[in-house]
Amino acid sequence: MTKKLSKGQLVSKLKKQGIPVPKSAKVSDMEHRLEHWESGDGFYVRLLRQPVDSRWKGHPVQLLKDKTKLYWLPRSQMATDILESKIVMNLGNAAEPSNDAQVIEVPSGYRTVSDNDSDNGADS
């Protein structure tokens, strides 16, 4: 087992990796970001069409519900999966979301990059 990092160590590690420190500054939130977020700006996206057929069942694009809303996704494996679905439009990048964007957080337990190496995201 790995040693738990202190709050200060987590903040330092997030900053070093270029990941924003959450406003809540809770240890669990910072650990979640370290596990799931990648360094770099997040993505502004808009849904082009509703993911209604069975191939989208269980896909993270299901988290986007409204075609009229602006969404911000942190740079992560989840964001890559959503962008590769090609049913969203990438409108640009920003380190932090704007006030009018709905933030889509990476769900707890979402597969990490290392989990995705063998199956390349091809879920049945």
CB 45 within 8 A of CB 80: no
Give this prediction's pTM.
0.78
Q: What pLDDT band is residue 111 in, cutting at 50, 70 and 90?
A: low
Q: Hey, where are the domains in the chain?
A: 10-39, 40-108
Closest C-alpha to 93, from 37, 44, 54, 34: 44
Q: Measure CA of the first residue to CA of the last residue in the chain; give whole Å.
A: 32
Identify the H or E element spanning 89: strand 88-94
pLDDT band of residue 93 (cuts 50, 70, 90) is: very high
- For residue range 48-90, what is the model confidence (pLDDT) as tens digits? 988 887 888 888 898 898 999 999 999 999 999 999 999 999 9
| CA 29 – CA 53 distance, rounded (Å) | 33
Tell me the pLDDT of the chain averaged across its residues.
83
Q: Mind giving me the DSSP string for 73-87?
A: E-SBHHHHHHHHTSS
Position 110 scores a pLDDT of 76
